Amino acid sequence: MIVEDELLIAMALEEILQDAGATIVGMAGCVVDTLALIEREDFGAAVLDARLDDERGTTIADALEASAKPFVFHSGYGPEHLPPQHRHRPLLRKPSDPAAIVRVLCNAIA
């Protein structure tokens, strides 16, 4: 699953992950849509933008953790902008190297 409010970035992530063999079960750009996806879709992992428009990803990160789904943050901000309880999660800084995205997400799944 991809959680990103910038359409071009979401599409680039989709292409990178599909090229690596992943199946994208859903993309969302806001907290409400993402929470609905978490409830209805079965997925192996998520790439989560730490800040969606003016919303922080805390609610989404908490929901992913509660559902035992691995995830990585993808953000233009540093770790100090991540929710404190999730700062131990992997953080990919935008712009990210495609190989790094795949590697970090695979490590989070393993």
Residues 34-88 have pLDDT tens digits of 999 999 999 999 999 988 866 677 899 999 999 999 999 999 888 988 888 999 9
pTM of the complete model: 0.92
**Domain count of the fold of the chain:** 1
Give the range of the structural domain holding residue 35, as residue numbers without chain letter: 2-109
Residues 4-37 have pLDDT tens digits of 999 999 999 999 999 999 999 999 999 999 999 9
The CATH number that applies at residue 63 is 3.40.50.2300
CA dist 12 → 7, 16, 17, 58, 90 (Å)? 9, 6, 9, 23, 19
